[in-house]
Amino acid sequence: MNLGLMAKVAGLELGAQADGINVTGFAIDNRKVAPGTVFGAFPGSQVNGEDFIPAAIAAGAVAVVARPQAVVEGALHIASDEPRRLFAHLAAPFFEPMPDVVVAVTGTNGKTSCVEMVRQLWHVAGFSAASIGTLGVTTAQESVSTGLTTPDIVTFLSNLHGLAREGVSHVAYEASSHGLSQFRNEGPRVVAGAFTNLSRDHLDYHATMEAYFAAKMRLFDEVVGDGGTAVIWADDAWSEAAIGHARARGLKLMTVGGKGETIRLLSRTPTQLGQVLELECEGAVRKVTLPLIGAYQAANALVAAGLVIASGGDGARTLDALGRLAPVRGRLERAAINRAGAPVYVDYAHTPDAIEAAIAALRPHVGGRLITVLGAGGDRDSGKRGPMGAAACAGSDMVIVTDDNPRGEDAGLIRAAVMAGCTIASDVREVAGRRAAIAAAVSAAGAGDIVLVAGKGHEQGQIVGRGEAMRVLPFDDVQVARECVGELT
């Protein structure tokens, strides 16, 4: 494909020199450069891609997208103060066609559940649909892990192109704060974006809550296309600010929740295996039996329904389809039931707010004690560790603090930071080794009790070490919980 033509499609002006360049691909890893490739050289937190420009050109790169001060010899230098963004918009035409309908979800918690619920609702409506995010690329037929909530821009665009070639017409993807701030999901036309909530996370990267929120709002400020729709959960402390961003951008606005105007949650009644939602939508009141437990699962389902409606779905049929939603992997997933009849739930909760929400979801179903197992990740926002312990102790009858992904930190010091937050009266124990902690919880649970294993959810490994010493040890909370139950029978 001609570079000049791609630039014009993307609304970029590169000059006549680009017209004579034929492009065979795009890459941000110099090891993946082949003759005819456009190479993206971006400064990062650990590696500066500009250092690999000579290697990329030697491998056949015909153009390099980089900052103006970068040294580019032997290839066209496409300079920009925001090279990641320009690279994304330049690459998008190369990866056409893409699915006809693309929507995105941002927020601290609920992104994975929302995009998977959107995919399921589209599937019920008869569309060939997929979701992209923490669980990988999920279609009705399979799930392929990408390893990141938001993959790199080349992988992201390539995934969209591949899905379109397979006949997928509708895609929902997770827009993380990292991905938004690094322009990792630019390019495709996004018809609707959703905001779920905001609570403390990733402050090691964003520094302040205001900067974290601003990164999330790029979805409304720049990513959702003109004439697009913003779907906002109306009951969060940051909802009004998100609504303000959407209005300032001129987007159509749909709000959902107890304060929602598009889909209003009138009441929520827990049942043994789910909950009954009374909803008002399009002037009519209807009851929906949602086969998932917890207030936050209801919130995720309504945000998902809002996105489906925003992208052309019928309101009444979409709400009725909520009754057919299946659980999302690692999101309040019931892993096992021990001999005493106590169920073990696994959840991805790894922030204070998410732990509080998971506990609140399970509490109405607890006849005896709620036993929570949690840890905190190493080399991540250390300031949230004490509040995570506080949240667990405030809502649980017994707390077992253990290891999560220690990465390059001392696991004992991480546990100590979590324990420091456990000042509220509760039965608190520290157990080194995640398997031992899960086994202790399962063994302690009696009739009427519920065990919550929080933090890792769907993850299949435990990260230990950093750099060249990093190892990923096989570890699946769901599988380990089942094995621990089996060892007691």
First to last CA, the chain: 63
Which CATH number fits the domain that encloses residue 212? 3.40.1190.10
* Residue 95: C-alpha distances to residues 63, 89, 92, 139, 307 (Å): 17, 11, 5, 20, 25
Q: What is the mean pLDDT of the chain?
A: 91
Residue 58, pLDDT > 70, answer: yes
Residue 100 known to bind ligand: no
Single-letter code of the amino acid located at 30: N
- Asked if residue 320 and residue 347 are part of one domain, the reply reads no
Any idea what DSSP says for residue 359?
H
Ranking 51-65, 127-141, 200-214, 297-311 by mean pLDDT, the lowest is 200-214
471 in a labelled binding site: no
Asked if residue 150 belongs to a known ligand binding site, the reply is yes
Whether 85 and 173 share a structural domain:
no
- What whole-number distance in Å separates Cα of residue 486 and Cα of residue 489? 5
Q: Mean pLDDT throughout 278-282?
A: 95
294 touches 270 (CB < 8 A): no
Residue partners of 428: CB distance under 8 A and separation at least 6: 393, 398, 399, 400, 401, 419, 422
Residues 368 and 453 in one domain: yes
46 annotated to bind ligand = no
What is the pLDDT, as a whole number, of residue 16? Answer: 81
| DSSP line for 262-302 | SEEEEEEEE-SSSEEEEEEETTEEEEEEESS-SHHHHHHHH
Contacts of 45 (CB under 8 A, 6+ apart): none
Angle, nearest 10°, between helix axes 385-395 and 411-420?
A: 50
CA-based nearest residue to 403, from 394, 390, 392, 413: 413
Domain boundary (304, 324, 344) is at 324
H/E element, 153: helix 153-165
- 90: containing domain: 3-94
3-state SS of the chain: helix, strand, coil percent to 5?
40, 25, 35
Least-confidence region, from 45-49, 122-126, 249-253, 466-470? 45-49
What separation in angstroms does the CA of 24 have from each of 54, 128, 145, 288?
19, 29, 26, 50
The verdict on whether residue 426 carries a ligand-binding annotation is: no
Annotation-wise, does 271 bind a ligand?
A: no
194 and 135 inside one domain = yes
Q: Is 134 annotated as a binding residue?
A: no
407 is in an annotated binding site: yes
CA dist list (Å): 142 to 113, 131, 139, 295, 458? 17, 11, 5, 28, 15
The 10 Å Cβ neighbour count of residue 433 is: 12
Give the integer Cα–Cα distance in Å for 103 and 224: 8
The answer to whether 227 is annotated as binding is: no
- The pair of three-digit structure tokens given for residue 64, joined into one six-digit string: 């390099």
Q: What is the mean pLDDT of residues 184-204?
A: 83
Ligand-binding annotation for 404, yes or no, is yes
Taken in order 118, 123, 126, 130, is the CA torsion positive or negative? positive
Judgement on whether residues 114 and 235 belong to the same structural domain of the protein: yes
* Global pTM value: 0.79
Q: With contact defined as beta carbons under 8 Å apart, do 176 and 150 qualify?
A: yes
Confidence of residue 388 (pLDDT cuts 50, 70, 90): very high
149 annotated to a ligand binding site = yes
Q: Is 48 annotated as a binding residue?
A: no
CB 88 within 8 A of CB 186: yes
Residue 289 known to bind ligand? no
Higher pLDDT: 429 or 274? It is 429
SS3 142: coil
317 with 395, same domain: the answer is: no
DSSP 49: G
Domain boundary among 324, 350, 378: 324
If asked whether residues 279 and 343 sit together in one domain, one would say: no
Mean pLDDT of 200-211: 68
Residue 149 scores a pLDDT above 70: no
| Among 146-160, 177-191, 210-224, 237-251, the least confident range | 146-160
Please state, in angstroms and rounded to a whole number, the distance separating the CA atoms of residues 303 and 309. Answer: 10
Q: Are residues 151 and 273 in the same domain?
A: yes
Q: Decide if pLDDT at 414 tops 90.
A: yes
The answer to whether 338 is a known ligand-binding residue is no
What are the tens digits of pLDDT across the range 344-358?
A: 999 989 899 889 989
pLDDT computed for residue 355 by the predictor = 95
Q: Select from 324, 345, 367 the last residue of a domain.
A: 324
pLDDT band at 324 (very low <50, low <70, confident <90, very high): very high
Instruction: Taking residues 220-226, report their average pLDDT.
Output: 87
Residues above pLDDT 90, as percent of the chain: 73
CATH number at residue 405: 3.90.190.20
- Assess whether 222 and 242 both reside in one domain: yes
Please determine, for residue 315, whether its predicted confidence score (pLDDT) is greater than 60: yes
Q: In the prediction, which pLDDT does 119 show?
A: 97
Q: Binding residue per annotation — 406?
A: yes
Helices and strands, number each (H, E), in the chain: 16, 23
My answer on whether 237 and 166 are in the same domain is yes
- Tell me how far apart the alpha carbons of residues 256 and 105 are, in angstroms, rounded to a whole number: 14
- How many domains is the chain built from? 3
Cβ 359 vs Cβ 398: under 8 Å:
no
Say yes or no to pLDDT of 331 above 90: no
Which residue is listed with tokens 């998977």? 116
Give phi and psi for 12, each to the nearest 5: -110, 150
Mean pLDDT in residue range 329-333: 86
**How does residue 12 score in pLDDT terms, banded at 50, 70 and 90?**
confident
Q: What 3-state DSSP class applies to 137? A: strand
Domain identity same for 359 and 216: no
Mean of pLDDT values over 14-42: 92
